[in-house]
Amino acid sequence: MIRLKRIYDQPSEKDGIRILVDRLWPRGLSKQTAKFDMWLKEVAPSDDLRKWYSHDPDKWEGFKERYFKQLHEKKEYVYQIIERAENNDVTLLYSANDENFNNAVVLNEYIEYIRSDQE
């Protein structure tokens, strides 16, 4: 099972493998106190896309479309998440304030798309 969670939220045993999926390190959080198993910044949106989107909900659909294209070119990293999720719970960690409009939501949708395509 794949879950999504802000990296600032309290870790839980249910989290399983905790993978940070942001390109930039979360503000105000030290690497010593952060609870994560893996930082997979390769699956994060490019700097240009991140800056263009700027967490503007009006750009959400365009962001999703462009980010899907980027993820399609980085499938080897996406498959690292999928492989871990086959036998473990996985939590995708993100730092954005908005839990509905962030890169982890799109990444999870892309993973679901890949999984459904494999069936």
Could you report the per-residue pLDDT of 38-60, keeping only the tens digit for each?
A: 999 999 999 999 999 999 999 99
For residue range 69-99, list pLDDT tens digits in order.
999 999 999 999 999 999 999 999 999 999 9
Give the range of the structural domain holding residue 41, as residue numbers without chain letter: 2-118
* Percent of the chain clearing pLDDT 90 (strictly above): 91
How many residues are there in the chain?
119
| Count: domains in the chain | 1
Where b means 16+ CB within 10 Å and e means fewer, 41-51 reads eebbbeeebbe
Q: Is the pTM of this model over 0.85?
A: yes
